[in-house]
Structure 1
Amino acid sequence: MRKQSSAIRVAYNMLKELEKEKTRNPHAQIYHRLRQLFPKLPAKYIDSAIYKAKQYSTDKPVVFGGKRLFEKLCKNYLTGKVREKLKKQWKEKRQGTLISIGSKADKVNRLMRFEDLNGQLCLRITIGNREFIYAKVLREPSNNKDKGLTFMAMLLESWQTKNYIPHTVELKLRNGEVYGSVSFEIPTPEVKYTKESGVIAVYTNASPIHLAVAEVSKTGELLSYQTILGLSQNSKDHQEWILAHQLLDIAIQKGKAIAVENLKKLKKGMRRDGKAELRKKPHQWNAKKFLQKLKRVAMLK
């Protein structure tokens, strides 16, 4: 983070100078200079540093670390813990950035890659020549419109089809913890299947199996059904994504839409918050989270 943050500042200053000189192809000159200054920094991090530097406006002066924090630190009356806290915040903003730009030309994001390790989503971060660290991705979707769900659906699809998703990952240091953001293109969903040919009905509160799937004709006749057992604790989240893809494959094969129940309209006992034997099941199965995954996968099929 410190090395690339320094490279971003150098790239920005060089951009300002080369812009005054109206230099053609400034990227090549800046890249060559950064390679000399930061020989151990992977080449893709240098390219990403130049990309990040170009995001800043060269018309106005930029205070890396934040202008307001810098001005506060310049005040003499701030001492002790208050000053140390502000200094830490300023250093984190100034030195705590790491970004890796994804492109369609690359088969994968070479420096920051999402991987599944025993059911836990991790980000593999390159820190040197064939040197990596793995960071656990600790994030829960805020609601059913959360774009993180769409990215997870796209990611799992790419693992299965070996088709790369161009995405950019940026990490930032904040209060001693690392926060990340992912930029990617969301495909426009197309409606391919409707209930005119019948539906694949998904019931997430089946007891004691937890999930039931029924094929229904357009006139409401039951054609077939199957049940699915509960998920293991170790890789529950990953299995839910796999299951969502399996259900979509069934719907596509049958040429039918998927229908799910509205959890908000279920009776209290059926939501598993009224009966003692049903309250234990959310540990094995989370209907709301699974349906969120199912909707996101459906957008991509």
Structure 2
Amino acid sequence: MIVIQAKLIFLSQDDKQIVLDLMRRWSSCMRFAYKRLLEGYDRNTLKRELQGIFNLNSRYVDDAIMKARSTLESSKELGNNPKKVIFGGKDLFKKLQKRHINGKEYKKLKTKWQERRKGNLYSRGDKSKKGNLNTRIEVKENGTFLRINVGERKYLYARIEAGYKKNKSRGKLLQEIAQSNIPYSVEVKLKNGNIYAYFAIEKEYPEIKITKEKGVIGIDVNAYPDNISWAETDEKGNLISYGNMPMTELASGSKDKKEYFRWQYAHEIVNIAKEKGKAIVIEGLDIKNKGKRGDFSGRKSRRIRHNFSYRALLSKIKTLAKREGIEVIEVNPSYTSIIGMLKYSPQYMITKDIAAAYVIARRGLGKEEKMPNNYMKFLNALTVDELEELKEHVKKTVRNKHINKKHLKEIDKAIKFLQSLESKPGRVLEPLNGTSFSAYNFWQVLKVAVVTPLSPEKVPRDFSALRELLIQGKWGDP
């Protein structure tokens, strides 16, 4: 999807007011349709009813119903209550309810909320109508205009101002879209008293030519420090090369600046994959976990939400890769960091982040991460008493309350896990039937047993020190 933003300049103030009225009626129509969809009304019944109520043609009404249905489905997918959706923005609405906000600040917030609530208009593209029937781009001698259907075969024109001189390419692209007769959707929005149009066209991607047949490039995006780690494998999952890309520009700056550099980083990653002829494997991040209280306040939810901010970067990598005909594989990111730092960081003398990228790459090839024999021997030698001693050590040495609480929780879970194994004849790496534990718990216990004692205050990014302990099996030395 390609989206172009442009400001609309109207020939007269009266024309602008007519379009604002159209946007108000369309927004009301969309909210009304949302309420009726909650009550179980079908599209055809709504379409006939809404045309008369809001004085809109059938296409505008159909698009309003589509937007309402999309909002409803999105609310359900996120696990929210569809009946509590607030058009205009829930956060803004809650701020308006606060009594300490008044005067100019209150008026400013109210205007912003009303613009979001009432200042909308959407029109889908139609291939049979050579682009878009209700909101059509027209190229004239004196510029590029948007022709808006305001009812009863009456049209108003607004000049499309696609940006400054450095953004001339936007205007040229809009002209090409208008002349090619390809379908495009137009969304009109009111912001700070000005009316903006967003033109969207769906671009067909070329056939996938670069697949995982010759290997993959695994990508690990890290929140702290801001960087992208990548690892290249062959088709069998063997490590070939790796690298790290700092993302210092994303640590601060405006929204537009961050957006620009996300595209730059995405281009660099895709170029690496293109040069090496490898598919790309990325994490499939999800934000559905809301935490125990349902308000995204838990530690796990905060981590997921922070990673969610990087979905924009991963999405750009995915988009650019598709444009280049490169296969993109999404995998479950669970335990990739733990497995990477314990298994591959000491084995290849690489950082935790690159090791995680390597695990992601192997997962994209369908490879399972089995625990080496030395690691199993270490776990078999580990006792509950040793973990109890570690627990007391953490209580005495770790001053940071948050880290202390986190370590104690992990140690208690490891103790419970080992206790569940005492009744089993031997410890094997497989899901434990009849319990809430899985194969991943072996890795978690191993992390507690070796990482916490070595670095209780802060997890290091270099785990080469574990080479003798885990790879060569030299444990037991104080």
Q: TM-score, normalised by structure 2?
A: 0.35
Query: Structure 1 pair 93/52, CA: closer, same or farther in 2 (3 Å)?
Result: same
Contact 1:141 1:148 in 2 (8 A): no
The aligned runs of 1:253-272 (5 Å cut-off) are: none
The reply to whether residue 167 of structure 1 matches residue 184 of structure 2 is yes
| Distance apart, 1:105 and its partner CA | 3.2
Give the letter aligned to residue 28 of structure 1.
N
Task: Write 1 or 2 for the structure with the bigger share of strand.
Answer: 1
Query: Structure 1 pair 72/137, CA: closer, same or farther in 2 (3 Å)?
Result: same
CA RMSD of aligned residues (A): 2.5
The aligned runs of 1:73-222 (5 Å cut-off) are: 73-140=96-163, 149-156=172-179, 158=180, 164-188=181-205
Contact 1:167 1:182 in 2 (8 A): yes
- Alpha-carbon distance in structure 2 between the residues aligned to 1:45 and 1:154: 22
Q: SS in structure 2 opposite 1:181? A: strand
1:52 to 67, 85, 96: 67
Contact 2:162 2:170 in 1 (8 A): no
Query: Structure 1 pair 148/188, CA: closer, same or farther in 2 (3 Å)?
Result: farther
Give the letter aligned to residue 93 of structure 2.
F
Equivalent residues, number: 177
The reply to whether residue 6 of structure 1 matches residue 2 of structure 2 is no
Query: Structure 1 pair 71/173, CA: closer, same or farther in 2 (3 Å)?
Result: same
Q: Deviations over 1:31-66 (max 9, x none)?
A: 12212322x212211111111112103533311010
1:42 is aligned to: 57
Query: Structure 1 pair 186/35, CA: closer, same or farther in 2 (3 Å)?
Result: same
- Alpha-carbon distance in structure 2 between the residues aligned to 1:152 and 1:170: 17
Q: Deviations over 1:258-283 (max 9, x none)?
A: xxxxxxxxxxxxxxxxxxxxxxxxxx
| Distance apart, 1:140 and its partner CA | 3.2
- Alpha-carbon distance in structure 2 between the residues aligned to 1:154 and 1:134: 18
| Distance apart, 1:125 and its partner CA | 0.8
Q: Deviations over 1:63-114 (max 9, x none)?
A: 1010011001111121111111111001000000011111223334111011
Give the letter aligned to residue 188 of structure 2.
L
- Alpha-carbon distance in structure 2 between the residues aligned to 1:148 and 1:51: 29
- Alpha-carbon distance in structure 2 between the residues aligned to 1:143 and 1:117: 22
Give the letter aligned to residue 30 of structure 1.
L
Give the letter aligned to residue 167 of structure 1.
Y
1:234 is aligned to: none
Q: SS in structure 1 opposite 2:126? A: coil
- Alpha-carbon distance in structure 1 between the residues aligned to 2:184 and 2:60: 15
- Alpha-carbon distance in structure 1 between the residues aligned to 2:137 and 2:151: 17
Percent of aligned pairs sharing the same letter: 38
Q: TM-score, normalised by structure 1?
A: 0.54
- Consecutive unaligned residues of structure 1, counting only runs of 5 or more, are 159-163, 191-301
- Alpha-carbon distance in structure 2 between the residues aligned to 1:17 and 1:72: 29
Q: Determine which structure has more spread, i.e. the larger CA radius of gyration.
A: 2
Q: Which consecutive segments of 4 or more residues in structure 1 shift more than 6 A? A: 141-148
- Alpha-carbon distance in structure 2 between the residues aligned to 1:186 and 1:144: 20
- Alpha-carbon distance in structure 1 between the residues aligned to 2:140 and 2:172: 19
| Distance apart, 1:188 and its partner CA | 4.7
| Distance apart, 1:16 and its partner CA | 1.5
Contact 2:139 2:175 in 1 (8 A): no
- Alpha-carbon distance in structure 2 between the residues aligned to 1:87 and 1:144: 33
| Distance apart, 1:143 and its partner CA | 7.1
Which structure has the higher relative contact order (CA within 8 Å, separation 6+)? 1
1:289 is aligned to: none
Task: Write 1 or 2 for the structure with the bigger share of helix.
Answer: 2
Contact 2:34 2:72 in 1 (8 A): no
Give the letter aligned to residue 44 of structure 2.
A
- Alpha-carbon distance in structure 2 between the residues aligned to 1:11 and 1:77: 35
Give the letter aligned to residue 165 of structure 1.
I
- Alpha-carbon distance in structure 2 between the residues aligned to 1:82 and 1:187: 46
